Amino acid sequence: MLISDLPVLQVVIPLAAAPVCLLLRNPRHAWACALIASWLVLAIALMLVQRVHAVGTLSYAIGAWVAPWGIEYRIDMAGALMVLVVAIIGALVMPFARRSIEHEILEKCTGLFYTCYLLCLCGLLGMVVTGDAFNLFVFLEISSLSSYVLISLGSRRRALTAAYQYLIMGTIGATFILIGVGLLYMMTGTLNMVDLSQRLPEVANTRTIMAAFAFVTVGVSIKLALFPLHQWLPNAYTDAPSVVSAFIAATATKVGVYVLLRFFFTVFGMQFSFDAMHVGEILMLLAVAGILIASLVAVFQDNVKRMLAYSSVAQIGYIILGISMASAAGVSAGMIHLFNHAMIKGALFLAIGCIFLRLGSAELRDMHGLARHMPWTMAAFVAGGLSLIGIPLTSGFISKWYLASAALSGGYWPLVVLILASSLIGLIYMWRVVEVAYFHVPGTMMHKVREAPAVMLIPTWLLIGINLYVGMDASLITDITRQGAEILIGEALQ
């Protein structure tokens, strides 16, 4: 096995680890297996980023069958960034998971939990690196099915309905994607994305391709919870086990956004997507509505996880807003926010996971005076919250800055104001938690509450650390996203 096999290995390792996990009787062993796999994936992801940086886009023909006859893995800078996001979150969530999972789900399910987690990881990675439209569907289903299971493991019975709702909406979305891919195939005879992009211009003005575009867009939008197709998300994030909320919130929707990017820019081409189909205007409208409405709804939530979930819907709005500008600056800003938001939300949900471990609840009313008993956890939460609001020296600021300047250079004046003003709504809902945790008098139950264990705090703070580092020095990440955006836009211009 050589360096050149890395693109496929990073997907195959979790895939192979999953059945091994199933075989292991002892949950601890299963955990160790999942841990090793996800760390290996992170190592590979880092190597991949470095390689893509060095040699440019990587292509790997699986089974040595060259595209378009075989399935191709294709990693460019944008893909490498996504792989990195998924791998970082996956690797950091795992050490956290053991204590949290032991506490939140039944013991007999823990081994299976890690199996499903690995499958989800594998599915998400596969979606990112694949260069084949149908293979995308297959891996989408792997990640979706496993995430339904993961979500259903939440301790309340509402987790079941949340998972079911997600299953129905997710399957509708996936079927829409399947229809879209089918129509594309019908008109071009190929499934390979690059091949598709070369053959599409000939038939671009047919009604079939327009329908295909619509179906793919709607299908992916369901997966990434674009307003108003987000109904599954708040329930799913609220009732899933904390680890799952953190993992899925930070990765699944982001991968969805990435898939949308792939389709818009690589497959259909920018000209078709934005000039012919006017998707930019539609997305911008939906993004703005999503940002405002979801943020406002978040303010009125009493469950912190639900609040964060609505905030996720709003934040996805920011990412889409960047993309909808259809400029290199906008797409790059969207991708920066994609990375940053993954880290922020991951950290916030992990912090909530720590709280859940000690409190057994994520309701605001149970958190009175929590900061005195769990100072480190709450400090992480506040740091993540500040980042979400976009205070300078945090990663959130970087993304807001880029988004605002992209909007400015695109001449979208009201958007700049909106971006800045809506971060204030973020301030309101984050501060509700801060006030309760720092200023309310602790209840009697609170005396037993201790700080979360170090194995859970360290991953949380590592994510916060990434946030702060990006806030201090964003050059690395902006470099990557700039290259990624250029490749996406550049391909479209060819």
Partner 1 sequence: MSPELTVLACVALPLLAPALITALHRWPNPRETATLLTSGCLFLLVYSLHDDVLRGSRPAIDLAEPLPGLKIGFEVEPLGMLFALLASFLWIVTSVYSIGYLRSHHEWRQTSYYSYFAVALGSAMGIAFAGNMFTLFVFYELLTLSTYPLVTHAGDDNAREGGRMYLGYLLGTSIILLLLALVWTWSLTGTLDFRAGGILEGVVTPGVAGILLVLYIFGIGKAAVMPFHLWLPAAMVAPTPVSALLHAVAVVKAGVFTVLKVVIYIFGIDFLANIPVTQWLMYVAAATILLAAIVALRQDNLKLRLAWSTISQLSYIVMCALLVTPLGIVGGGMHIVMHGFAKITLFFCAGAILTATHKTRISELNGIGRHMPWTMAAFTVGALSMIGIPPTAGFISKWYILLGAIETREAVAAGVIIMSTLLNAAYFLPIVYVAFFRTPNDTLESMPGHNTRDTDGEAPPLVVLALTVTAAGTLALFFLPDLPLDLMLQLSGGSP
Partner 2 sequence: MEILIDTILLVLLMITGFSIVRMRSLLAATMLTSIYSLLSASLFVVLDAVDVALTEAAIGAGISTILLLATIALTTDREKPPQRTPMLPLIVVIITGMALIYGTLDMPHFGNPQAPVHLHVAPAYLHDTPGEIGIPNVVTSVLASYRGYDTLGELAVIFTAGAGVLTLLGYRTRGGNSMDPGIRKLLILRVIGKLFFPLILLFALYVQFHGDYGPGGGFQAGVIFATGFILYALAFGLGNAQRLIPHQLLRIMVAFGMLLYIGVGIESMLLGGKFLEYNVLADDPVSGQHLGIILIELGVGITVASVMLMIYYVFRSRQPEGDL
Partner 3 sequence: MSGLLGLYNYWIVIILMMTGFYAVIARPNLIKQIIGLFIFQTSVFILFISMANIEGGTAPIIKEGIRLYSNPLPHVLILTAIVVSLATTALGLALVVRIKEAYGTINEDNIHVQDEED
Under rule CB under 8 A, residue 478 binds partner 1: yes
| Bond into 68 cis (ω within 30) | yes
Please, which of residues 152-191 interact with partner 3 by CB under 8 A? 152, 156-158, 160-161, 163-164, 167-168, 171-172, 174-175, 178-179, 182, 185-186, 191
Q: Which does 405 bind (CB under 5 to 8 A by kind): partner 2, partner 1, partner 3, none?
A: partner 1
Distance (Å) of CA 24 to CA 16, 17, 102, 149: 13, 11, 16, 19
Rg for the chain, CA atoms, rounded: 21
Number of residues that bind partner 2 (CB under 8 A): 65
CB of 480 to partner 1, least distance (A): 14
Q: Which of 185, 376, 431, 438 binds partner 2 (CB under 8 A)?
A: 185
CB of 167 to partner 3, least distance (A): 5
CB within 8 Å of 435: residues ≥ 6 apart: none
Q: Which lies closer to partner 1 via its Cβ, residue 472 or residue 493?
A: 472
Q: Which does 182 bind (CB under 5 to 8 A by kind): partner 3, partner 1, partner 2, none?
A: partner 3
Stretch that binds partner 1, among 153-161, 221-229, 320-328, 470-478 (CB under 8 A): 470-478
Distance (Å) of CA 174 to CA 15, 234, 466: 21, 19, 33
Binding mask 278-317 for partner 1 (x = CB under 8 A): ----------------------------------------
Q: Which of 96, 148, 268, 310 binds partner 2 (CB under 8 A)?
A: 148
Question: Following DSSP, what letter does each residue of 445-480 receive, concatenated?
Answer: GGGG--PPPHHHHHHHHHHHHHHHHHHH--HHHHHH
* Residue entry with tokens 């792989």: 83
DSSP 494: -
Q: How far apart are CA 320 and CA 304, in angstroms?
A: 24
Q: With CA atoms as reference, report the closest residue to 384 among 335, 415, 413, 349.
A: 349
Distance (Å) of CA 459 to CA 38, 210, 350, 465: 14, 45, 8, 9
Please, which of residues 341-400 interact with partner 1 by CB under 8 A? 386, 389-393, 398, 400
Q: Which lies closer to partner 2 via its Cβ, residue 71 or residue 286?
A: 71
Q: With CA atoms as reference, report the closest residue to 305 among 385, 364, 375, 250.
A: 364
228 CB-side CA count, 13 A? 3
Please, which of residues 97-136 interact with partner 2 by CB under 8 A? 108-109, 112-113, 115-116, 119, 122-123, 126, 132, 134-135
Binding mask 444-473 for partner 2 (x = CB under 8 A): ------------------------------
Q: Is 190 helix (H, G, I), strand (E, B) or coil?
A: coil
Binding region for partner 3 (CB under 8 A):
134, 137-138, 141, 145, 148-149, 152, 156-158, 160-161, 163-164, 167-168, 171-172, 174-175, 178-179, 182, 185-186, 191
Binding region for partner 1 (CB under 8 A):
386, 389-393, 398, 400-402, 404-405, 408-409, 416-417, 420-421, 423-424, 427, 431, 435, 438-439, 471-475, 478
